[in-house]
Every structure is written in C-alpha cells, then in structure tokens.
Amino acid sequence: MYAQADLDAFLMEAELMKDFNHPNVLGLLGAVWTGDNAAEWDHLKISIPMCLSLGLAGVSFCGGRALLVHPVTEQGARGVQVYLPGNGEVWYDDHTHQKYSAPQTLYVSVTMNTIPVFQRGGTIIPRKDRSRRSSSCMQSDPYTLYVALNTQVIYLVKVVIDQMLFSY
C-alpha cells in the first residue's frame, strides 16, 4: 500500500515538473529502504553504495548534481578527505558557505554532529530552515533559496511548491 502511494506521489510530481527540466534543482525526493540494517558502522558502510546505485533510466535518486555529501563511516573519525570534482567547477561548504574551486581534495574536520556537505556552483536549493518538532509544523514556514553562484551570471528560476495532495 505504501509503495503504491509513493509511486502515485512520484508520478504526480513528475507530471507537475515535466515542463521544468532543469538538472540543478532538487526535486522528486523520497525515502529509500536499504534493508534491516542495525545502527552499526559496518552497516552504514554498506548502505552508502546501495543508496548511490539507486536510479531509474540513468537518473540517480540520491544526491544528484546539486549536493555533494561525503559519508563518515569510521567510528571516532575526526576528519575525512573530500574530493570536489569538476574542472573549473565551484563548490560551497554548506555550513560555512566558503567557496572552493575544483578539482581538489580537502581535509574536512567532522564531529558526531557534522557531516561534510557541499553545494555545487550554479545550483539553487530551497530549504525551510526553522527547527521544528515535526514536518507538519513547518507547512507555513518560509522557504530560503540557497543560490550557489558559478562562473556564469545567467539564472532562470522557477519555484514549484508541492501542494501536499497526498497524506500518508
């Protein structure tokens, strides 16, 4: 039943987005089940490749072009090496908004409360930044558009907000 509801929601959103085909905007998001994993580091290591290999017709369901999220899979890690791909690309640290030119490898410090996240230049990510106790409390919260500039200066923006037609 849940799978059919997820499929219906996906197809409806795809229909709404069919005239807006832009690879640098997040959309068509959903949940993924990677099996009965325990909350252990070894299970985390194997779930990352499972998520990254998910896709349909060559379109990845995880990540996409806008965000680069580097997993921390070693218990007690204090930092990780993050490779920023793309010759001449620009990346921004999601936490500090510091700009980096690619390609390069960075050492990024991590804690139990942080994970390296970078936004690609030339992308726009809509977010609701107010911390709430549940997502239903966020329905009327404002959106913040995170615009990461690249070396070009032309931007065309169209914002589509889900109408919340499906209740699960």
Furthest-apart CA pair in the chain: how many Å?
A: 46
Look at 105 and 59; give whichever has higher pLDDT.
105
Band of the pLDDT at 21, cuts 50, 70, 90? very low
Q: Supply the pLDDT for residue 26.
A: 45
Tokens of 157: 């923006």
CATH superfamily to which 2-148 belongs: Golgi alpha-mannosidase II (2.60.40.1180)
Contact 124, 145 (CB under 8 A): yes
150: Cβ contacts below 8 Å, ≥ 6 apart: 89, 90, 120, 121, 122
Residue 23: which pLDDT band, with cuts at 50, 70 and 90? very low
